[in-house]
Structures are given as C-alpha cells and as structure tokens.
Amino acid sequence: MVSFLDLSKVNNRFRNEIDAKFKEILDKGWYLQGEENARFTQDFAAYCGAKYCVGVANGLDALSLLIRASDFGPGDEIIVPANTYIATILAISQQGCTPVLAEPSLETYNLDVDRLEALITPKTRAIMVVHLYGQAVQMQKVWELAEKYQLKVFEDCAQAHGAYYEDRRVGSLSDGAAFSFYPGKNLGCLGDGGAVVTNDEALYEKVKALANYGSDYKYHHIYKGVNSRLDELQAAVLEIKLKHLDEDNQRRREIASFYRHEIHNPLLILPKTYAEKSHVWHVFTLRTEQRDRLCAYLNERGIQTNIHYPIPPHQQLAYQEWQHLHYPNSEEIHRTIMSIPMSPVLTEQEIVQVVDALNAYQG
C-alpha cells in the first residue's frame, strides 16, 4: 500500500534523538515556557530570516493572535483567498473582523493578485496571503497595494515552512506570519503547535503577552489575554526536526519533479510552479473532471488519496451568510482537485507505482 502520509515513518527517523530529549525533559521536570521553547523559537525565527518568533498552541491561534495584536476588530475588513483552509477565515471571524474573499488563480491556486485591488474599500485593513499547498505567493503586487492603500500584510504559512519568494523565506515577507506545526505539516510536532513570526518588535511583545494571559511579566496583566503556548516537549521535537526541514523539502521537490515529468495523462491537470525554491510541496495536487472515479481507481490499487478541500468556505454551513455568493475559480478548484501521496519518506518504488497507476488510468 502507498500511504498518503506515513507519520510514524516520518517521525521514527528521529526516534533516538526524541527519546533522549524526552528523558531529559522528564528528568528536569520543566514543561512550559522553558529552554526548549526559547531555543526553538529563536532558531525558527532565524530560519525564516525574521527577528522574532512566539510559540503558540496551534496555527489557528497564531492567525488569530496576529490579527488581535494588530488591533483589528469589528468593522475592519481583511482580504483572504476564497479557497484557503477554513482556519484562515475562522481566525478573521474570531476577531470580529469581516473576511473578504478573493478569487484564486487557476494556474497557481494562490491569490490572483491582479484581482485584489477591486476588493479594497475604505474599511480594508489587511491582506492575508496564504502560501497554499506549499507555494509562496508572488508578493510584489501585494506589497505595492499595501503601500498604496496603507494596509498590513499577513502570511498564513501553515503549508509552506521553508518556501522562498525570490531570495527570502515565507514568514519574513509581511508584517506578521502564522505557522502551524500540526503533525502532517512540512514541519510538524507530535500534537498541536504553532508560531507567530515577525520583524516587528511591538507586535512580537503583544502577541507574546496576549498568548500568556495578557501578561507582560508574572502576575501583571495588561490585556484580556488567552492561554496559547507551545510546550517544551513539542518545542524540543520541532528543534530536532527543524535541522532536517531543508533536506525534507528538497526530497519533496525531487518527488514533485518526478511526478511532473513522468505523469502523462490527458485527463489530469498537473500543478504549476514558477521557481524551484518557491514551492515546498506540502501536498501534490491534480485536477480532473473524474475525481471520484480516479480516487476509487487509485484506492483499489492501494494508493491513498485525499482532497484539499472538497467544499469551498463560502459554501460551508458555518458561513451560511455567503451561500448566495459565487467564486467560480474557487468552486472549480474545489470541484476538481485531489492530492496524491507526498512526503519525504516515500520510496522510489512507491512513487513509480503512483506514476504507473496514473498513466494507466483511462477514465
């Protein structure tokens, strides 16, 4: 069987190091806000090419804290891609802001930057880009609009740890960035985890305080904060795995390149990328008119598939107020997209098996 993502295989590569670290932490008896968190957040900021990082409980909290710390709330509009994972949109709603959905490009599945300006109103405060499926958004146009209309730019980097836009990594391309370390992400821990990364010292201090009961120092509370922390065990695992992230992303690129060169089937639309290092292939997508049939065909041959994502956010029950709206590109993507196995632990034999099955598929 070709597993979609074999997480035990992914993490067992680091078993000895993780075992030793867990023993050390158990012996020490310090579980939160300690050395592991300090070391990882410092190293992760440096990895992204940014100054500051706050470890938080998950990616949704990272997004939410970023918006809250920027003092956005009711009445403020934030532009966000219509085809993102629901978490990006939920974070905007959670802070009482209005998400304004922007159509993606059918070429990159990222924001269609040429359609952004038409969405800007006097209430627009920020553009939240999402480096979806692992591919960095082409930021130049976003920066120009932000400058012209005095908007903040945020990044949702949950799927793109390590991806580059030109010579800079995602996480350092905006006023503030949110990361998730959910187990299946390119950099994943053994449970939930997330981070806010920024070059803005004031934003950093505020996110750090908000995430820790609104406290700037012990028992002193300056905001009505929340409890959202990255614990020592997770930070330690992430520190171990961070050292191998570039290697893992390189392996994903090799697999993606193999898929893109070897899959020849007129029934399938393969993903496009504009620069080798701009993509870290969190997932490898295909588009086809025959999604259900193709998924069933692959599953019968022992190849697991997935759909990122089957229902567009504006058609979810949670956002019933948007059910009359239409985003044709987003709807087209959600109707036709599917994902095939992608991870740094796939073997040559497995990727050949996937390619052979796809090439033999006749509809």
Ligand X SMILES: *Cc1c(COP(=O)(O)O)cnc(C)c1O
Min separation Cβ 25 and ligand X, Å: 22
Q: Are strands 194-198 and 215-217 parallel, antiparallel or unpaired?
A: unpaired
195 binds ligand X (CB under 6 A): no
Give the C-alpha separation, 217 to 206, whole Å.
12
Give the C-alpha separation, 38 to 332, whole Å.
44
Burial 335-344 (b: 16+ CB within 10 A, else e): ebbbbbbbbb
234 binds ligand X (CB under 6 A): no
58 binds ligand X (CB under 6 A): yes
- Tokens at residue 119, please? 């969405």
182 binds ligand X (CB under 6 A): yes
85: cis peptide before it, omega within 30°? Answer: no
271 binds ligand X (CB under 6 A): no
Out of 104, 194, 271, 312, name the contact with ligand X by CB under 6 A.
194
What secondary structure letter does DSSP report for 214? T
In the stretch 119-148, what mask flags binding to ligand X with x, by CB under 6 A? -----------x------------------
How many residues contact ligand X, by CB under 6 A?
15
Question: Nearer to ligand X by C-beta: 85 or 204?
Answer: 85
Can you tell me whether residue 81 is helix, strand or coil? strand
Q: Are 80 and 89 in contact (CB under 8 A)?
A: yes
Classify residue 164 as left (phi > 0), alpha (psi -120 to 50) or beta.
beta
Task: Quickly tell me which residue has 């009359």 as its tokens.
Answer: 324
Residue 328: exposure state from Cβ atoms within 10 A (0-12, 13-18, ≥19): exposed
In the stretch 7-46, what mask flags binding to ligand X with x, by CB under 6 A? ----------------------------------------
Out of 135, 138, 159, 343, name the contact with ligand X by CB under 6 A.
159
- Tokens at residue 6, please? 């074999």
67 binds ligand X (CB under 6 A): no
What is the CA 327 to chain-centroid distance, rounded? 22
In the stretch 299-338, what mask flags binding to ligand X with x, by CB under 6 A? ----------------------------------------
Select from 39-47, 53-61, 109-117, 346-354 the region that touches ligand X (CB under 6 A).
53-61
87 binds ligand X (CB under 6 A): yes
156 binds ligand X (CB under 6 A): yes
Residue nearest to ligand X (CB): 59
Residues in touch with ligand X (CB under 6 A): 58-60, 84-85, 87-88, 130, 156, 158-159, 180, 182, 192, 194
